[in-house]
Amino acid sequence: MYLFLSVTLAAAGHLLAKAGVTRSGAGLNALLDPFVVLGIGCFFLSMVCFLPWLASRPVGVAVPAAGLTYALVALAAWALKGDVLSLEQWGGIALIGFGVYLVNN
């Protein structure tokens, strides 16, 4: 449960940050954009959720599992924003999932 919440919040943070910098541009001005601020909040909550997961597993198992965030961001961008994913990117998403499975078993 903690990993699911952590990964979901981190992915939301990435998507919100992207929306914010798309509107306001990069740089210090982006830190004032409401989407960027919400994204930073999601990153903070993601870390809060990740800490119990990290405490209950070896670091070499817990941290690679957070890599699911990369796959979730790509899938969410595809589903919500219409981003096009190449065959190689789909393969990468599958490899991330399989790699996390292997590390955690």
pTM assigned to the model: 0.88
Within 13 Å and on the Cβ side, how many CA atoms surround 89? 12
Look at residues 52, 46, 51 and name the one whose alpha carbon lies nearest to residue 68. Answer: 46
> Which residue range is the domain that position 58 belongs to?
2-103
Q: pLDDT digits over 63-85, tens only?
A: 998 999 999 999 999 999 999 99
How many independent structural domains does the chain possess?
Answer: 1
pLDDT band at 27 (very low <50, low <70, confident <90, very high): confident
DSSP H or E segment with residue 83: none
